[in-house]
């Protein structure tokens, strides 16, 4: 297959561990004649996904992107990371066009769980589609959009808004990116990065911490994400106690 021939269907590889986004892309492909005429899409989930059953039911196959060589990926015009749990290795992103659908507003709070850190440090949050380079959530930006953080929202509320925004960016821009009709731009600044270790430190609550009530509420809503057990402390019996917060708006 000659991927440079505009008359040939472009072969795309989507690597994702997110059921919502893969389902959306699949439905968009089936319902959009332009997509189905121009693209052939393969779907894979990362080999480190410990619960891939729902993705397998979507027809996805396992891939270990860290151990792939370029020859195995030569047929692909583009590789898309959509909430992939694995970091793409430098030898791939430096030699193959790879883009990332990222649940954050680059360059702010790059890395793990952007919405968690945006609740705390007040940096903007949103969705970004960007060209990948050898750094995490880094590289030139094709498109992005911001969402607001409201005072009663927890991590999962904001994350769900970001997911919907990612779908919007995919629908409006992905085919343009594939067809080289949308050029990426450098981010305005280097921004900041948060690691999984940074997140884990937040989860271990210090009951002697000083701070305003607002800061304590923000910490708990940043760590409240549906059924996930994130925030915790140890009581006087050394029992681990998990904490989450529920906030609701007045109906008056």
Q: Which residues are catalytic?
A: 102
108 Cβ neighbours under 8 A, 6+ residues apart:
114, 118, 123, 124, 125, 191, 192
Task: Please give the DSSP secondary-structure letter assigned to residue 233.
Answer: E
Which element (helix H / strand E) includes 166? Answer: helix 155-178
Task: Please give the DSSP secondary-structure letter assigned to residue 133.
Answer: -
Residues paired with 152 in a beta bridge: none
Count Cβ atoms within 10 A of the Cβ of residue 208 and give its class: 0-12 exposed, 13-18 middle, 19 or more buried. Answer: exposed
Q: Do residues 193 and 218 make contact, with C-beta atoms less than 8 angstroms apart?
A: no
In order, the DSSP letters of 172-210 are HHHHHHHTT-S--B--SS---EE-HHHHHHHHB--TT--
Reported as half-sphere exposure (CB side, CA atoms, 13 A), residue 55 has a value of 26
Asked if omega into 169 is within 30° of 0 (cis), the reply is no
Separation CA 163–CA 126 (nearest Å): 9
């Amino acid at each position: 297959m000659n991927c440079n021939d505009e008359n040939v269907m472009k072969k795309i590889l989507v690597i994702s561990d997110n059921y919502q986004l893969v389902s959306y892309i699949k439905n968009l492909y089936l319902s959009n004649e332009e997509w189905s005429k121009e693209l052939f899409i393969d779907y894979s989930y990362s080999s480190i996904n410990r619960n891939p059953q729902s993705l397998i039911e979507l027809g996805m196959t396992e891939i270990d992107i860290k151990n792939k060589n370029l020859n195995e990926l030569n047929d692909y015009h583009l590789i898309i990371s959509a909430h992939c749990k694995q970091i793409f290795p430098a030898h791939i992103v430096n030699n193959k066009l790879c883009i990332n659908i990222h649940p954050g507003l680059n360059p702010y709070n790059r890395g793990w769980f952007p919405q968690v850190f945006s609740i705390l440090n007040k940096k903007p949050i949103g969705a970004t589609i960007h060209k990948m380079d050898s750094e995490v959530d880094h590289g030139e930006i094709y498109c992005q959009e911001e969402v607001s953080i409201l005072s009663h929202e927890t991590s999962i509320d904001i994350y769900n808004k970001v997911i919907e925004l990612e779908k919007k960016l995919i629908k409006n821009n992905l085919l343009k990116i594939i067809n080289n009709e949308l050029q990426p731009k450098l981010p305005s600044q280097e921004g900041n990065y948060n690691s999984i270790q940074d997140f884990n430190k937040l989860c271990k609550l210090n009951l002697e911490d000083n701070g305003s009530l607002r800061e304590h509420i923000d910490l708990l809503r940043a760590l409240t994400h549906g059924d996930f057990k994130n925030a915790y402390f140890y009581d006087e019996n050394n029992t681990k106690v998990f904490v989450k917060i529920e906030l609701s708006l007045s109906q008056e």
